[in-house]
Amino acid sequence: MKRTRYVSAATAVVLMTGGPVAVATAAAADPVRTVTAAPAALRVDATAESASAAALKHYPGVIESLDKDGTVWHVDVISKDGKGHAELQVSASGSVTEQNRDTNENAAENKALVSAKVTAQQAMKAALAAHPGQVTTVEWDDDDGTASWHVEIKGKDGKTWDAQVNPATGKVTQSDSDGDSDDDGDDNN
């Protein structure tokens, strides 16, 4: 019995003097109790290029238009046969949500777009080569009888640069440049 008291007393002294340090050291070394701060998730906005790739993966075809609204891209895709049309939204993370799908399009109305030698993606690359920045809009335009790609780029200086890209040759011409974004109420649909 005397021996138990001495061991208990010795244990109590060790715990009182070195116990808190030992417990703290053991807790810090314990991987179950160790909490490491996870790196903060970085918000990465999808670019026009990545939004178009995500949209075409979801609905294969030809991009008719691509427009950024905040952090969401609105993408219209025409099927390769010209008969289908999908309205898609691509989030900042690259996830695709289908808003509408139609399979009764008039293929003749989409013939020029579907057969164009220069795609929306190629028009973006050509416009960016002529004026570096970020693409905010790409749109097929054949309203006046002459088809072209309209590409809008926001430059590093904050100014908007509008380009027309020839769908047969890829030649870029500047159509307009202004000091602000396209907030003039113009509907591009």
For residue 88, the model assigns a pLDDT of 97
pLDDT at 38 over 90: no
Q: Taking the model in full, what pTM does it have? A: 0.69
Q: For residues 50-63, give the mean pLDDT.
A: 96
Q: Phi/psi at 133 (nearest 5 deg)?
A: 155, -150
Q: Phi/psi at 115 (nearest 5 deg)?
A: -95, 0
Rounded Cα distance between 38 and 30, Å, is 18
Q: For residues 10-37, give the mean pLDDT.
A: 46
Residue, of 125 and 38, whose pLDDT is higher: 125
Residue, of 94 and 188, whose pLDDT is higher: 94
Do 89 and 96 touch, CB atoms closer than 8 A? Answer: yes
Exposed, middle or buried, 93 (CB in 10 Å: 0-12/13-18/19+)?
exposed
Among the listed residues 90, 85, 81, 43, the one whose alpha carbon sits nearest the alpha carbon of residue 63: 85
Model confidence at 58, in pLDDT bands (50, 70, 90)?
A: very high
Q: For residues 38-42, give the mean pLDDT.
A: 40
- Of 139-143, 158-162, 183-187, which range is least confident? 183-187
Do 58 and 96 touch, CB atoms closer than 8 A? Answer: yes
